[in-house]
Amino acid sequence: MSTAPIAVITGAAAGLGRVIATELLAQGWRVALTDRSPALAAEAVAALCAETPAHADRLLPLALDVLHKADFEAALAAVQAAWGAVPQALVNNAALTLPTKVMDIAPEEFSRVLDVNLRGCLLGCQVFGAAMAAAGSGRIVNLASLAGQNGGTASGAHYASSKAGILALTKIFARELGPRGVTVNAVAPGPMDLPSVHAMVPAERLAQIVQTIPVQRLGDPRFVARMVALLLDAGAGFVTGAAWDVNGGLYMR
């Protein structure tokens, strides 16, 4: 059986999660791609297998709705059944982004976004963090956002609030799990050159946003994926509780 390290990525069927999965696969990881839709997870795995057939035995599609703790527990059990080990890494990537103006956000919509983005991160850290701590080591990376640091520009207030919460949860779990060999970090990207960004933000508005970025360009999601991979590395044991900024200079500190 392969001894390659195992990573689980939530919301990995498309977008940044898919880019991260591709990078980890290229670096030799076994990767469980999860999505709320089992069909979309399976399609993503099939596409990656078609691109690199030799990697087929290092990919696992899983259904996981981040709203439910039982789904995280089932995913953990499925990975252990398939590959015989506790995952060494979790990437909490799944997120819901709605650009509703702040004065128009209904209470139900606010709760929905925070449940997916923030509660999902909490549950992932609880379930996988406990398993990693019992094993004596592990890495968790939470996808936060520039929006959680500066209040957002094109994203909704509920999205920005949830990402700010993720930054706080990252520190809380870093303190909780650090003594047991598990590091927890956040990556906070600014506007990325992703189909989802182009779909959400009108072209004229996106061009205006780019003009406000000191480096005058959108971010490269492949660089974010490499940053995530670095934080998941076995040698990254002295890095925890940190938020790693990738924002083109929009937020300097």
| 24, 51 contact by CB (below 8 A) | no
The 3-state DSSP class for residue 29 equals coil
Q: What is the pLDDT of residues 198-230, one digit of tens each?
A: 888 889 888 998 999 999 999 999 999 999 999
Residue 153 is predicted with a pLDDT of 76
Q: What is the pLDDT of residues 95-112, one digit of tens each?
A: 999 989 999 999 999 999
Catalytic sites, residue numbers: 159
Residues 6+ apart with CB under 8 A from 162: 95, 113, 114, 116, 117, 118, 148
Spatial separation of the C-alpha atoms in residues 250 and 159, rounded to whole Å: 18
Q: Which of 25, 76, 226, 64 is nearest to 141 (CA)?
A: 226
- The helix (H) or strand (E) run that includes residue 42 is helix 38-51
The CATH code belonging to domain 6-189+223-245 is 3.40.50.720
Residue 1 is predicted with a pLDDT of 62
Domain boundaries, the chain: 6-189+223-245
Residue 2 is predicted with a pLDDT of 81
Spatial separation of the C-alpha atoms in residues 25 and 45, rounded to whole Å: 11
SS3 content of the chain, % helix, strand, coil (to 5): 55, 15, 30
Residue 10 is predicted with a pLDDT of 98
| 229, 31 contact by CB (below 8 A) | no
